[in-house]
Amino acid sequence: MENKKPFLKVEHLKQYFKLGKRELPAVDDVNFEIYKGEVFGLVGESGCGKTTTGRTIIRLYDATGGSVYFDGKRIVAGVRNYKDAIKKAKFDLKVKLGELKKQYADNLKDENYKAEVDKAVKVCNEVIAFNIEEIKKARFDHRHCNREFGRFEAKKVDDKYLPLIEAENNPVKKAELVKEYKKHRRLALKDRIMNRIQMIFQDPIASLDPRMTVKDIIAEGLVIRGIKDKKYIDEKVYEVLEMVGLVQEHATRYPHEFSGGQRQRIGIARAIILKPDMIIADEPISALDVSIQAQVINLLNDLREKMGLTIMFIAHDLSVVKYFSDRIAVMYYGKIVELTTSEELFKHPLHPYTKSLLSAIPLPDPRYEKKRKRITYNPLSAHDYTKEKPTMREVAHGHFVYCNTAEFDKYQKEIIAIDAKGKQ
């Protein structure tokens, strides 16, 4: 995957919520990439920031800082990182001027002193100017990415239809082409890049409007996009209902008339009717019975193959994520602490929190359950970050862990020891 271009790229994403005068860092400097066609699992305990990450990517929340790039275009842009850089530059200048003042205390008219001051001020001004420009770019991308995408799609329609219209000599056919061109151009201008990412929500009943029929719920995206042809809308609604295992008769019913699994299928149908390229599935099976969970997972797998979907699968059940995901990121307190392939994570779990999560997975085996050791994760005793702060590091090929240098060396030895034991 390292040679592929990432389909979704998350860079230094931050989402802080205000708590009076304080701030809660729900997502704190998160980085990861998702590639076309893969299932990317995001796991962690309740409250670790998984759902907030997904909602920030799809712009249900405005990001505090960082950027999200989708198919090469920036769709989310926060400005906190740039503002922090400006504050740091001003603080560093103040410190530097203080040091220079002490250094040249005997002769403040010294030419070297003036040159040093001018140099420090120039560096500070350059940093400030650069970050002010980045703030402008970030705000523009965040506000106008949808409109710019609409214009881009409209240009594609122009390139397709205008030469045909110009070359057509038959007045009747030309009029038909013009009518078709105007229709497609109007829809293209209303198209939004965010339509290409859809979300499946955790609670199937809370995410469905109880006053709307199933048909209205599923068709809402098409209506918002500007499609007015009722026959076309009905055809598309019936088509996606069949794709998710429901029937046409269900279209006239209301959400309260369905079971939990059927409601989640309605939520999936609503997500796929616009033919998105990516789905963010926010714990889509956690509110369902175990027997229904397998059906929904299999449905998502089928849709992934049929539609070529890329899926970000948010969950806290590692056993499900192992079955469904290509790569897994483990999240703790707003930070990703480990990221690797599904197979590698279960073979070589390195971060203490990952080991704690894996130890909590139950198996339908009484003998195993009797001997199973639960690992408790206590970050204060598990890490010593007084001398060196942790960063995300590649311990093995494609296996990233949030650690400092001492832990990095320890984890590498651990992988070698596990591999050596496995070969015996």
Quickly tell me which residue has 């151009």 as its tokens: 185
The pLDDT score that the predictor gives to residue 1 is 52
pLDDT digits (tens, 9 = 90+) for 314-329: 988 788 888 889 999 9
Q: What is the mean pLDDT of residues 48-59?
A: 94
pLDDT value of position 277: 93
275: amino acid identity, one letter: K
Q: How many CA atoms lie within 13 A of 65 on its CB side?
A: 18
Looking at the predicted structure, is the pLDDT value of residue 256 above 80?
Answer: yes
Percent of the chain with pLDDT over 70: 98
pLDDT of amino acid 422:
64
Q: CA 246 to CA 167: how far, in whole Å?
A: 46
Contact between 276 and 196 under an 8 Å Cβ cutoff? The reply is yes
- Domains contained in the chain, number: 1
Identify which has the larger pLDDT, 36 or 416: 36
pLDDT per residue over 389-424, tens digit each? 999 999 999 999 999 999 999 999 888 887 776 665
The span from the CA of 268 to the CA of 313, in Å, is: 13
Could you tell me the sign of the dihedral formed by the alpha carbons of 386, 387, 390, 395, in that order?
A: negative
pLDDT tens sequence across 164-212: 888 888 888 889 999 999 988 988 888 889 899 999 998 888 889 999 9
Q: What band does 214 get if pLDDT is binned at 50, 70 and 90?
A: very high
What local confidence, expressed as pLDDT, does residue 254 receive? 94
The residue-averaged pLDDT of 80-99 equals 93
Max distance between CA atoms of the chain, in angstroms, equals 91
Per-residue pLDDT at 260? 85
> Does residue 144 belong to any structural domain of this protein?
yes
Q: What's the length of the chain?
A: 424
Mean per-residue pLDDT, 123-140: 94
Residue 124 has pLDDT above 70, yes or no: yes
Whether residue 289 contacts residue 260, with contact meaning beta carbons closer than 8 Å, is answered with yes
pLDDT value at 93 more than 80: yes
Q: Where are the alpha helices (DSSP H) in 326-404?
A: 342-347, 352-359, 366-371, 379-382
Over residues 44-73, the mean pLDDT reads: 93
Is 183 domain-assigned?
Answer: yes
Within a domain: residue 256?
A: no
Whole-number Å distance between alpha carbons of 104 and 113: 7
Residues 104/113, Cβ–Cβ less than 8 Å: yes
pLDDT for the residue 2 = 52
Is the pLDDT assigned to residue 17 strictly greater than 80?
yes
The residue whose two tokens read 């009029």 is 175
Contact between 332 and 297 under an 8 Å Cβ cutoff? The reply is no
pLDDT for position 202:
85
- Amino acid, res. 58: I
Coil/strand/helix, residue 84: helix
Alpha-helix residue ranges (DSSP H) falling in 246-341: 260-272, 290-307, 318-324
pLDDT, tens digit, 9 for 90 and up, residues 318-375: 888 888 899 999 999 999 999 999 999 998 899 999 999 988 888 777 888 888 888 8
**Domain with 175 in it:** 82-190
Rounded Cα gap, residues 404 and 411, in angstroms: 10
* 59 domain residue, yes or no: no
Classify residue 249: in a domain, yes or no.
no
Q: Is residue 177 part of a domain?
A: yes
Element counts in the chain: helices (H) and strands (E): 14, 12
On whether residue 13 sits in a domain, the answer given is no
Nearest to 390 by CA among 330, 345, 336, 327: 336
Lowest mean pLDDT among 75-79, 108-112, 359-363: 108-112
Average pLDDT rounded to a whole number, residues 219-224: 91
Instruction: Dig out the tokens for 21 from the structure.
Output: 């005068």
pLDDT tens digits, one per residue of 268-291: 999 999 999 999 999 888 878 877
Residues 6 or more apart whose Cβ sits within 8 Å of residue 103 = 113
Residue 173 φ then ψ, to 5°: -65, -35
In a domain, 74, yes or no: no
Provide the pLDDT for residue 331: 95
Q: Is residue 3's pLDDT more than 70?
A: no
Across 122-147, average pLDDT: 93
What is the distance between the terminal CA atoms of the chain, rounded to a whole angstrom? 31
Rounded to whole angstroms, how far apart are CA atoms 120 and 182? 58
Closest CA to 71 of 214, 194, 208, 210: 194
So what's the pLDDT on residue 19? 87
